[in-house]
Structure 1
Amino acid sequence: MLQSQRGGDDMDEEKEDETSYKSTTNGSTECTGDDVTDAPERKTKVQSHYLSRLQKLRMHHNACEEQYMKAYPKTINVEREKTLSLYQSMNTKCSDDSDGTVILEPTPDNDTSLPELRRTDSISLNRKMLGRTAEESLSSSELSGDEYIPDTEEESDSNSSAEEESLAKNAKQHKKKKVKKSKTSRSQPCKRRIVTRSGSLANSGTKESSSSDERDSGEPSSPDTSNVTVMMLKKKTGGGRLYNKKYYCLFCSKPFSKMARHLESKHKDKPEVARAFAFPKGSKERRLQLSLLRNKGNRCHNAQVLKEGKGVVIPRQQSSSPARARDYLHCINCEAYLKRRSLWRHMQRCHLNKKVKGMKPGKTRVQSLCSYAEPVPESVNARFWKMVLEMHEDEITNVVRKEDVILKLGQHLFNKHGHDVTKHEYIRQKMRETGRLVLQGKKHGKLNEVSDFFVPANFPHVIKAVHSVAGLNEETSTYKTPSLALKLGHNLKKMANVIECEAMMSGDKNILSDVQAFKQICDTKWSECVSSQALRNLSEAKWNSPQLLPFAEDVKKMHQYLDSQSKEYQTKLEEEPTSKNWAELSKVTLCQVILFNRRREGEVSKMSLNSFVLRDTSSTHPDVELALTDLEKSLCKHFQRIEIRGKRGRKVPILLTPDMVTSMELLVKTHRNCDVLDENVFMFGRPQALSL
């Protein structure tokens, strides 16, 4: 049956050729006049022509049969057995020829019982079915790698699709074999309608490419959305592009394919639309304004989709490959939805490019600037969310932005320490530590969310996740990073307190009982499972550690070197006020102040500009001088004293020598000319940044 299906098309063409041959030979004998003498020769030529054509068709049919039998021997045997069993049940004699062909010999008694023969649906053969590789060229008499599609849709609708799927599954079990070129490769191929089709296309109407099928499967696009997809490029049956993209209106939030026509007919009273259509048709300004309106409407739609967590976002340029929504960002100028990796190229040639104001100048990366312009999620502080956006983009950051409990922990720390810019890195680090723990819990499959950590039954899994993150070696009972194990315990207790407060305010007794039980278990079992081993590792690491003390000669050489470098950079900064010279003098002066006062480097580096500018430069009070010795009086005249904020808000005095004061006054004088921002509150801040 399969053989009759595969060769159905070729045999029909042979019958047509034979019919046309008979009609031609019969008609040629009816010629009169001068044509009578040429009739035998013409008959001979026509006969030889059609015989050669029939021979080529048979050779082509035999070549296809051989290739199919080599590629699918098992399938052919199965079909042959089915055919034999079918006709045996119908009292028909069946036998196998030497070449594997099934020979049917119906008995005279069952002639009337046999079903009427009818033509079955043909099978579309391609390179994969014939066992050919993509690089191997076919002869002109053989089929190409494209599929053969019959002229009528009825011949290749229902049964062919099921047979193609079964053949495709069997093809994966066999290796591709090279096909030798036949001797008839120079013969002309049969005229057939060949159409290029994608393997994932359907059989009806307009068909999408394989990338669109993957898009429709619903791949998660962002860490906090599981049903958001990106609009993909669609194609027609012949491989051409399907122009079905729709844009969302900024004013009525409805999709339209002809946005300019819709704006002109429905929203021409809007100021933005009137401004766009005030420009002449075909002008560059008109196109830019209409493009901006389209992008704004799409951005409102995309923001709504990301907020709800389901739907399709509209990029500016559709892609033929599957993508995720978190790989896209809106341009801060034209508001187009573009891929992160191509933003830098777009910003260089964006027609609406303008000077960005209000952004953190230290973050010059394009992705960071565009991230700041994204809408702030609900129930999240805008300043805190801006701090979260400064985190490095990786899987840990995705978990942090997804989990509400981690964000609440960061919000709790931000409310306490957010006023201090230097504490922002500490807050981000605490959130990333918790994100690493959540990622490790997901690997074991027991702790998929942060809320699962506070279920009392999951406490053993929490301990296992902490051991994995901190790098516990069970044989030696030592942590690779024992301090991380202690920090994770503190973070879990803080998150438990946050969840407990939320449960009390919402009245959720189930969550409240679970968190309270978790805290009781931690008070009893945490020190036994985690803290005791981590503290022992930390204390043992300090045993027999060498204490290095510098020689007096080394200290003297260092101070002499710093003095010489300070004078050199002072001269350079006065002659050429550049950001490089300013930064070098700032580093040397900071090092001198730390060494001279023997203070923590963190305290001195956080010295504010106001602390130095508003210092008390007046002489000591006469009543105070009465209590001082002559040496102390001379020291008060030589050094200048300022007070800064130290650890836990304590006041820390700092003494400055005349050379230090000279360097610091020069830094204050030239900080504006050296690209040091006025918003930078630190005395030793970095140029073109808001941090140290």
Structure 2
Amino acid sequence: MRELARLKIVLKKSTTITDFIDLLTPEMYGHLVSAAKIISGYNPETKTFRASSLALHIGSTLKFVCDIAKKTIITRNPLFLHLKTETKQKIDVLQDIITNHWCNDLSNLANKCLNEKKWKKLKLLPLTADINTFNNYVASLADTAYEKLQNGEEIENNYKILAECVLTTVLVFNRKRVGEIQFLEIQAYERDFENINQEETLNSLTELEKTMSATFKRVVVFGKDEKEDTVVVARQLSKIMRVKKRKRTCIENYIEVVERYNLQDFRCHFRLTKTTFKIVLIK
């Protein structure tokens, strides 16, 4: 919506349109291309884009808008009863033009610029010593928070620290993005298949794979795109998972009381915990 709003603001400076549906005509195609270049920061001298990804998918957005406009006309939406059948035909023609010519006029060059930027961008890899230092620091934080939770000290704050440590540990070890692992549910982690008799599979494993199977646990999660993703979790985290599960009820009851009595000072803290660190709070 923000992309379309920016597009409309630019077009209102060069045309006499009042509604966005006025743009969905074949005659406006040239204006749409020019406006897309402006909002994506196109430089005609260097033939580069400041926001190449925006120039890439603005064409798909316009085709989607055409589909919505045709649906409203066909279903006789009360807001668009004044539109005639010829309007739908013009939208069809514009959609065909975008499908056939947008790539030549904009997308190909934007894709070239995007790939060049990726190629020129340096990839900085951390040193092994730095990773070990970071892992040791996270482990010490987790151990301290774990002991305090066991003793019932500062349950809310230590639970949050423990959640951050678990999320960070799994994130670094699996080298994945936050969105791919933050939806790890406790039920998925607790599901155990060790007692299933799979001798053929076990015999086919190498000694290294057998050692890894004994040290790590394979968990399947559904990422933000609802696709299956495999996450490997160290079995040392099992004791942390157990204490988090026991303290969960205390945390959630506290959140319920905070929201019920509208305590503004505490709500932001727990809203952050409840949404960001889904790895331990999803049921």
With normalisation by structure 2, the TM-score equals 0.77
Query: Could you tell me how far apart the structure 2 residues matched to 1:544 and 1:630 are?
Result: 41
Greater relative contact order, per chain length (Cα 8 Å cut-off, separation 6+): 2
Percentage identity across paired residues of the two chains: 24
Query: Could you tell me how far apart the structure 2 residues matched to 1:688 and 1:547 are?
Result: 34
1:510 equivalenced with 2:86 (yes/no): yes
Query: Could you tell me how far apart the structure 2 residues matched to 1:628 and 1:496 are?
Result: 54
Within-5 A mapping of 1:262-661 = 431-506=1-76, 508-574=84-150, 575-613=152-190, 615-616=191-192, 618-621=194-197, 623=199, 624-629=201-206, 632-646=209-223, 649-661=226-238
User: Could you say if the C-alpha distance between residues 622 and 486 of structure 1 is closer, same or farther in structure 2, counting changes exceeding 3 Å?
Assistant: closer
Q: Secondary structure at the match of 1:619?
A: coil
CA RMSD of aligned residues (A): 2.8
Task: Note if contact 1:577-1:674 (Cα within 8 Å) is conserved in structure 2.
Answer: no
Aligned amino acid, residue 229 of structure 2: V
Corresponding position of 1:164 = none
Greater helix fraction, Structure 1 or Structure 2: 2
Q: What is the aligned residue count?
A: 254
Aligned amino acid, residue 667 of structure 1: K
Aligned amino acid, residue 509 of structure 1: T
Q: Give the counterpart of 1:671 among 248, 251, 262.
A: 248
User: Could you say if the C-alpha distance between residues 619 and 521 of structure 1 is closer, same or farther in structure 2, counting changes exceeding 3 Å?
Assistant: same
Task: Note if contact 2:141-2:165 (Cα within 8 Å) is conserved in structure 1.
Answer: yes
Query: Could you tell me how far apart the structure 2 residues matched to 1:539 and 1:571 are?
Result: 49
Query: Could you tell me how far apart the structure 1 residues matched to 2:233 and 2:119 are?
Result: 38
Cα shift readout 1:528-580 (whole Å, capped 9, x = no counterpart): 33213311221221333323232222222222222112112222333324333
Cα shift readout 1:232-261 (whole Å, capped 9, x = no counterpart): xxxxxxxxxxxxxxxxxxxxxxxxxxxxxx
Corresponding position of 2:271 = 688
Task: Note if contact 2:141-2:161 (Cα within 8 Å) is conserved in structure 1.
Answer: no
User: Could you say if the C-alpha distance between residues 463 and 567 of structure 1 is closer, same or farther in structure 2, counting changes exceeding 3 Å?
Assistant: same
Task: Note if contact 1:470-1:484 (Cα within 8 Å) is conserved in structure 2.
Answer: yes
Aligned amino acid, residue 149 of structure 2: L
User: Could you say if the C-alpha distance between residues 539 and 633 of structure 1 is closer, same or farther in structure 2, counting changes exceeding 3 Å?
Assistant: closer
Aligned amino acid, residue 437 of structure 1: L
Query: Could you tell me how far apart the structure 1 residues matched to 2:99 and 2:210 are?
Result: 57
Task: Note if contact 1:472-1:480 (Cα within 8 Å) is conserved in structure 2.
Answer: yes
In the TM superposition, residue 675 of structure 1 has moved relative to its aligned partner by 4.1
With normalisation by structure 1, the TM-score equals 0.34
Query: Could you tell me how far apart the structure 1 residues matched to 2:146 and 2:159 are?
Result: 9
Cα shift readout 1:370-420 (whole Å, capped 9, x = no counterpart): xxxxxxxxxxxxxxxxxxxxxxxxxxxxxxxxxxxxxxxxxxxxxxxxxxx
User: Could you say if the C-alpha distance between residues 445 and 565 of structure 1 is closer, same or farther in structure 2, counting changes exceeding 3 Å?
Assistant: same
Task: Note if contact 1:471-1:481 (Cα within 8 Å) is conserved in structure 2.
Answer: yes
Aligned amino acid, residue 270 of structure 2: P
User: Could you say if the C-alpha distance between residues 527 and 654 of structure 1 is closer, same or farther in structure 2, counting changes exceeding 3 Å?
Assistant: closer
Q: Secondary structure at the match of 2:250?
A: coil
In the TM superposition, residue 489 of structure 1 has moved relative to its aligned partner by 1.5
In the TM superposition, residue 648 of structure 1 has moved relative to its aligned partner by 5.2
In the TM superposition, residue 657 of structure 1 has moved relative to its aligned partner by 1.6
In the TM superposition, residue 662 of structure 1 has moved relative to its aligned partner by 1.9
Task: Note if contact 1:617-1:640 (Cα within 8 Å) is conserved in structure 2.
Answer: no
User: Could you say if the C-alpha distance between residues 573 and 453 of structure 1 is closer, same or farther in structure 2, counting changes exceeding 3 Å?
Assistant: farther
Cα shift readout 1:45-96 (whole Å, capped 9, x = no counterpart): xxxxxxxxxxxxxxxxxxxxxxxxxxxxxxxxxxxxxxxxxxxxxxxxxxxx
Aligned amino acid, residue 245 of structure 2: V
Query: Could you tell me how far apart the structure 2 residues matched to 1:620 and 1:598 are?
Result: 29
Query: Could you tell me how far apart the structure 1 residues matched to 2:241 and 2:126 are?
Result: 28
In the TM superposition, residue 650 of structure 1 has moved relative to its aligned partner by 3.7
User: Could you say if the C-alpha distance between residues 570 and 447 of structure 1 is closer, same or farther in structure 2, counting changes exceeding 3 Å?
Assistant: farther
User: Could you say if the C-alpha distance between residues 661 and 514 of structure 1 is closer, same or farther in structure 2, counting changes exceeding 3 Å?
Assistant: same
In the TM superposition, residue 494 of structure 1 has moved relative to its aligned partner by 0.8
User: Could you say if the C-alpha distance between residues 543 and 603 of structure 1 is closer, same or farther in structure 2, counting changes exceeding 3 Å?
Assistant: closer
Gaps of 5+ in 1: 1-430, 679-685
User: Could you say if the C-alpha distance between residues 687 and 514 of structure 1 is closer, same or farther in structure 2, counting changes exceeding 3 Å?
Assistant: same
Q: Secondary structure at the match of 1:643?
A: strand
User: Could you say if the C-alpha distance between residues 622 and 451 of structure 1 is closer, same or farther in structure 2, counting changes exceeding 3 Å?
Assistant: closer
In the TM superposition, residue 586 of structure 1 has moved relative to its aligned partner by 1.0
Aligned amino acid, residue 470 of structure 1: S
